Amino acid sequence: MRSCFPRVPTACAAALAPIAVVVLALPAATLASARPAGSAPPLVVSAGTVATTLSPGAQAQAVYNRMTAAQRVGQLFMVGGAVTGLGSATTTAISRYHVGNLILTGRTTAGAPPVRYLTGRADTVTTTAATAGVPLFIASDQEGGYVQVLQGPGFSRMPTALTQGSWSDTLLTAYARTWGTQVMRSGVDVDLAPVMDTVAKSFASLNKPIGFYQREYGYTQTVVADKGTTFLKGMRASGLAMTAKHFPGLGRVTGNTDTTAGVTDTVTTRTSTDITPFRAAISAGAHLLMVSSAYYSRIDASHPAVFSSTVIRGMIRRDLGFTGVVISDDLGNAKQVAAWSPGARAVGFISAGGDVVLTGNPYVVPAMVAAVTARAASDGVFRARVQAAVMRVLTVKAQYGLLAPRLPVTGYFGPLTKTALQRWLGISQTGVFDGATIRALQVRIGAPVVGVWGPHSMAALQSYLGLYLDGATTWNTRTVAALQRYLDTQL
């Protein structure tokens, strides 16, 4: 993560007219700003960051207060971008429509270096004008089996959740720690996993979204709760923010909401034991909870869960006491929600109490943002829900270090960068590129460990960062800037 943890093309068809601005103000908190006399000067930081001595809530409030209305609304969206290259529609969603979160879509087998390059470049789009300098939550679906976006050199091939669930807790924890470190070191900081849905063994082959792909950890709520939280805690140890999904469960349906409309669960109730694994995941440290877009006829027959206040404000907030970020299942391309306009999908989710609208389709972002902004301007109740949702998103970002000071990208390999590098390596922070630092960096990037920095080490670093090899024999501006961008995704 960026502070609290050591861590490891298409074009837009047309630009929509600027959306109306509505002030979404919260009472300003009284924030202490004094530094102890004689203390070291703070890092040079980008706009939107705050002192890390503040509590996460205070950090979030300070950032909220300096954001524009449009930037606040943007924090309530997660836009899709291809893991092989984001494309202009995705970067426009961030730069013009202020979207504050990114999900990497598709698959890559090219390995970690290209992902490191992509995430570092994506972070540079979060300018003062775009997101008030607040970094993106960058997410990936890294479950295992058929659902593993990040593959290739630097990423272990992960077995299905059903296989993982057959392992001992000790073995699963060890593997999950390794997988989590690999994901974090690629610049991704949110895993949209684990799947906490329970599918009966006799029904698994008929259950298209989960059982058919062996995405469940077992066939009983007890096993799913145990193995799912074991995976969660192992992955989270690396600093990843984890996401329990798909509340209140997709284990009782036949259709896949991504490809089918009218998917309905006629079994699950508000007090069903299928809720047990989600409660366990929250207790284990899941700070995000994804809501299904299926109907649940015995909970709220009139609305898909993703648009249901009974599900989100009733079950998630009140019954489970969850205070983290509620994120939707895909509202951009899913057939289940195709009957609603993109704007209605976004407004419906936030009205029901949701926080982050996930859309794998970046082209619907302008309509979604415009609809949310317009409703907030005309509806005080909705405006209050937007305010509360933005604060929840910023608070969780603060908990994971994303509101902390950022390393400036200057291309200069000075003491500030050397200290940040040492912090990432987990060694003594002296601000001097000494033999111990060189050896630790050589180990991390897979270079020969000789304690002397030369052309071979530089080539290994450029490869690690996803750069083309330019034959540099020592530090140059291009490589240092890439390293600084990468460290900003890590610290």
CA distances from residue 294 to 215, 218, 268, 291 in whole angstroms, order as listed: 17, 21, 11, 9
Residues of the chain with CATH 3.20.20.300: 56-399
Other Cβ atoms closer than 10 A to 60: 26
Architecture of the CATH domain 56-399: Alpha-Beta Barrel (3.20)
Of 456, 457, 449, 461, residue with least CA distance to 424: 461
Instruction: Determine the 3-state secondary structure of 160 from DSSP.
Output: coil
Tokens of 247: 């509340």
Report the pLDDT value the prediction gives residue 265, as an integer from 0 to 100. 98
Cα 217 from Cα 229, distance rounded (Å): 10
Contact assessment for residue 390 and residue 134, using Cβ atoms and an 8 Å cutoff: no
Give 15: exposed, middle or buried? Use CB within 10 Å, 0-12, 13-18, 19+. exposed
Specify the pairing of strand 142-144 against strand 147-148.
Answer: antiparallel
The pLDDT value recorded for residue 53 is 80
Query: Which pLDDT belongs to residue 52?
Result: 56
pLDDT < 70 positions in the chain: 1-52
Model-level pTM?
0.90
Q: Where are the alpha helices (DSSP H) in 352-454?
A: 365-378, 380-399, 415-425, 435-445
Supply the pLDDT for residue 50: 52
d(CA 87, CA 155): 24
In 75-146, the DSSP E strands lie at 77-82, 101-105, 137-140, 142-144
Q: How far apart are CA 138 and CA 83, in angstroms?
A: 11
Phi, psi at residue 356, to the nearest 5°?
-120, 120
